[in-house]
């Protein structure tokens, strides 16, 4: 039975629950907007990285380089889209 | 077809490896798709008109249930892929079935949430905010719905044909899709709900 629950994945799951709990502090504690957003940015990106490496086995084969390059590219375009939009339409710079 | 037995079944042929890489490229495009939705959401979040704001309509309980259910389903499908790699077909199918049940549970709560929003006057036409909120959540929900159908087909095929390089490859690719949905949800949970309720 225990061979069905590899340690790495169980630890990954526990850690993802801990990250969710930390993110929830934003709701239960009275934080400033900046502090709250900092917590959320950190927990969300760590959580995403955790899924990618532990559960999605991104770095397993010889295609590792291509896979990470591609995801990195996707994330860069995503960040440029989001922050570019914020910059022009919301922060009015 | 050259089968390399030193690798897990899902990577064992060149075609399989390329299909997995191809799916990662698709996921890269999906990241960009959701980025456009998030960009629109952040732009329109304060345009509530005479309708409610996020703080008025969000409730922590259903959101928390959705998050825990989806994180758990991401874990169980990870266990499913592990079981597949050690050749335990029965355990793999059980884990995949549990994953889909959790996915259906998630969808049930989300449907409840949508009905609730419509009921309290936050429909898709109420304001720019509710429109982009429901579009963002709905796009994720549509992905989960597709995942339920896809996952059911995978389970049926593995049941019928057993674990072959082909079915293992399909199952692994489905697991990538499912984990990705979980990643998107984490961002919705953090930057739509928690930010809105902060």
Whether A45 and A67 map to the same domain: the answer is no
Across the interface, whether the CB atoms of A20 and B75 are under 8 A apart is answered no
Q: For residue A51, give the nearest of B25, B74, B198 by CB distance.
A: B74
Q: Which residue of A has its CA nearest to B198?
A: A27
Whether A73 and A47 map to the same domain: the answer is no
Res. B1 pLDDT band, cuts 50 70 90 = low
- Evaluate whether B184 touches B34 at the Cβ level (below 8 Å): yes
Whether A70 and A30 map to the same domain: the answer is no
Whether A37 and A66 map to the same domain: the answer is no
Complex ipTM value: 0.90
Q: Given CB atoms, is B23 within the 8 Å cutoff of chain A?
A: no
Whether A17 and A46 map to the same domain: the answer is yes
Give the residue-averaged pLDDT of B56-74.
Answer: 94
Q: Which domains does chain B have, with CATH numbers?
A: 9-45+57-197 (1.20.120.80)
Across the interface, whether the CB atoms of A4 and B43 are under 8 A apart is answered no
pLDDT of residue B147: 96
- Residue A60's φ and ψ, nearest 5 degrees, are -90, -35
Whether A24 and A51 map to the same domain: the answer is yes
Give the residue-averaged pLDDT of B163-186.
Answer: 94
Q: Which residue of B has its CA nearest to A90?
A: B43
Give the residue-averaged pLDDT of A25-49.
Answer: 90
Per-residue pLDDT for B13 more than 90?
no
pLDDT of residue B143: 97
Contacts of B9 (CB under 8 A, 6+ apart): B84, B85, B163, B164, B165, B168, B169
Whether A39 and A68 map to the same domain: the answer is no
- Evaluate whether A36 touches B196 at the Cβ level (below 8 Å): no
Whether A70 and A46 map to the same domain: the answer is no
| Number of domains within chain A | 2
Rounded-to-integer distance, Cα B12 and Cα B26, Å: 21
Residues in chain B, total:
198
pLDDT of residue B2: 66
Rounded-to-integer distance, Cα A50 and Cα A13, Å: 9
Rounded-to-integer distance, Cα B177 and Cα B183, Å: 10
Per-residue pLDDT for A59 more than 80?
no
Q: Name the residue range of residue A35's domain.
A: 1-56
Per-residue pLDDT for B7 more than 80?
no
């Amino acid at each position: 039975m225990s061979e069905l629950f590899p340690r790495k994945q169980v630890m990954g799951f526990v850690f993802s629950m801990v990250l969710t709990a930390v993110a929830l502090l934003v709701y239960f504690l009275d934080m400033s907007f900046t502090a709250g957003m900092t917590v959320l940015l950190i927990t969300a990106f760590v959580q995403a990285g955790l899924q990618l490496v532990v559960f999605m086995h991104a770095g397993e084969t010889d295609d590792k380089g291509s896979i990470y390059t591609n995801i990195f590219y996707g994330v860069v375009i995503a960040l440029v889209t989001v922050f570019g939009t914020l910059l022009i339409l919301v922060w009015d710079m | 077809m050259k089968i390399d037995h030193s690798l897990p079944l899902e990577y064992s042929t060149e075609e399989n490896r390329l299909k997995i890489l191809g799916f990662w490229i698709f996921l890269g495009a999906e990241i960009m798709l959701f980025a456009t939705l998030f960009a629109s959401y952040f732009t329109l979040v304060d345009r509530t008109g005479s309708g409610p704001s996020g703080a008025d309509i969000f409730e922590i309980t259903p959101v928390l249930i959705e998050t825990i259910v989806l994180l758990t389903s991401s874990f169980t499908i990870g266990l499913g892929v592990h079981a597949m790699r050690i050749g335990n077909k029965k355990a793999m199918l059980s884990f995949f079935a549990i994953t889909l049940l959790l996915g259906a549970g998630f969808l049930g709560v989300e449907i409840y949430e949508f009905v609730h929003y419509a009921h309290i006057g936050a429909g898709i036409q109420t304001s720019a905010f509710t429109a982009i909120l429901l579009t963002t959540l709905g796009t994720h929900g549509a992905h989960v719905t597709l995942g339920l159908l896809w996952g059911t087909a995978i389970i049926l095929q593995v049941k019928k044909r057993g674990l072959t390089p082909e079915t293992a490859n399909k199952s692994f690719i489905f697991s990538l899709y499912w984990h990705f949905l979980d990643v998107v949800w984490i961002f919705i949970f953090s930057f739509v709900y928690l930010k809105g309720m902060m």
